[in-house]
Amino acid sequence: MEEVIHARGHENVTAEHASTFEVTTDDYLTPAGDCILAIEADRAPADFDPEFVAACQDSNATITVTLEADGHTASVTGRGDPALEFTNERSAVGRTSDYVDDRTIVNSAEFAAEGFDRDLVAALSDGAEATVTITVE
């Protein structure tokens, strides 16, 4: 199963955060948002299909987040968690930790924002259109 989010980069995308990455529906990004990869997302976790959410709530689930922009692609894999809510209406956050809140879409991710391909990050900082595909197995 998968969910797809369309968003865009922003000049303040730096992708330097060591423990999270985020895609937000917000239409702005301050320099402090070093985990944010894309803004103006057309969907948030609260919009995801209930069956998709249920599949992600399995602690044995493998969740992969793939980000594509301007011909560059990067994927990060983590795991599901029974505590995942998918109720936030603004932001989708991947975490390298086990922390869960209403924004969390994947735990124990292989890497955070700082681990994304630098060519992809450069495209996002140039404002490239982005497609975020979240799959669960």
Tens digits of residue pLDDT in 2-30: 999 999 999 999 999 999 999 999 999 99
Predicted TM-score (pTM) of this structure: 0.97
Delineate the domains of the chain, giving CATH numbers in brackets.
Answer: 2-136 (2.60.120.630)
pLDDT score at 102: 97
Tens digits of residue pLDDT in 43-94: 999 999 999 999 999 999 999 999 999 999 999 999 999 999 999 999 999 9
Backbone angles phi and psi of 73, in degrees to 5:
-135, 140
